[in-house]
């Protein structure tokens, strides 16, 4: 038995595939690999496969991870190429390897954000947003598991933030907490709307670019 991990890109039309549909899509491609996917036991066995850090729908990523178990002993060599032949546009497997590191070690994620303004970037916006996102307290509203609205302070979840103005947009390079609790970078736009409504962007694009452990080393 082996536990394997896929490193893959999710972009373009594939960024709108839900996480449940993504699992189904990858499962349909597995017969190409000739691997025997391990299933859970019980009355309703299901494939042991999971997305390590689910990506919000509409966002893209260069570093998605998916774990699965197979009944054979294998190091994953050659699997990426076989899977890519059965995946839709926007999903590309970069590597398949043994999943040696526990997911609990994944601590931070890095993301590029593009804040677009239909009428151009307001004067002084980059500086004002930089000051906003460096506050010691930054509240947003988020629905709890019980569907109730609660105020969440996201300031402690922001590790690094750099904003620059370029070609009529503001580009943000953010490093934020990945889990327990994690911060969806898109919530930064909600904080802008709440605190500085005049600087609310008309459209926000988010692309996850890397993931790290507690020491700041790339997590794989």
Answer whether 2-100 and 106-213 agree in fold.
yes
β-sheet bridge partners, residue 108: 177, 212
User: What are the sequence ranges of the domains in the chain?
Assistant: 2-100, 106-213
Percentage, residues of the chain above pLDDT 70: 100
β-sheet bridge partners, residue 153: 139
Q: How far apart are CA 129 and CA 16, in angstroms?
A: 28
Residue 145, pLDDT > 80, answer no
Fold that domain 2-100 belongs to in CATH: Alpha-Beta Plaits (3.30.70)
Name the residue among 45, 22, 49 with its Cα closest to residue 35.
49
Given a contact cutoff of 8 angstroms between Cβ atoms, the answer to whether 91 and 6 are in contact is no
Name the residue among 59, 152, 63, 57 with its Cα closest to residue 106.
63
Query: What are 40-63's pLDDT values in tens digits?
Result: 888 888 889 999 999 999 999 999
What pLDDT does residue 41 have? Answer: 87
- Domain 106-213's class? alpha beta
Query: What are 69-116's pLDDT values in tens digits?
Result: 999 898 889 999 999 999 999 999 999 999 999 999 999 999 999 999
Given a contact cutoff of 8 angstroms between Cβ atoms, the answer to whether 14 and 26 are in contact is no
């Amino acid at each position: 038995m082996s536990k394997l991990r896929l490193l893959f890109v999710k972009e373009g039309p594939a960024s709108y595939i839900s996480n449940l549909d993504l699992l189904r899509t990858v499962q349909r491609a597995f017969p190409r690999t000739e691997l025997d996917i391990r299933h859970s036991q019980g009355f309703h066995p299901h494939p042991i496969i999971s997305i390590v850090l689910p990506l919000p729908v509409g966002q893209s990523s260069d570093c998605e991870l998916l774990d699965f178990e197979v009944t054979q002993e294998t190091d994953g060599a050659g699997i990426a190429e076989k899977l890519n032949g059965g995946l839709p546009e926007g999903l590309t497997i970069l590597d398949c390897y043994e999943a040696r590191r526990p997911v609990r070690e994944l601590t931070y994620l890095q993301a590029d954000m593009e804040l677009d303004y239909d009428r151009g970037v307001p004067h002084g916006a980059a500086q004002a947003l930089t000051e906003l996102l460096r506050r010691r307290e930054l509240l947003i509203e988020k629905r709890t598991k019980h569907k109730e609205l609660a105020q969440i302070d996201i300031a402690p979840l922001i590790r690094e933030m750099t904003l620059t103005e370029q070609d009529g947009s503001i580009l943000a390079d953010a490093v934020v907490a990945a889990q327990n609790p994690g911060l969806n970078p898109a919530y930064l736009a909600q904080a802008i709307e709440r605190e500085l409504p005049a600087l609310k962007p008309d459209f926000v694009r988010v692309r996850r670019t890397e993931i790290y452990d507690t020491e700041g080393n790339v997590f794989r």
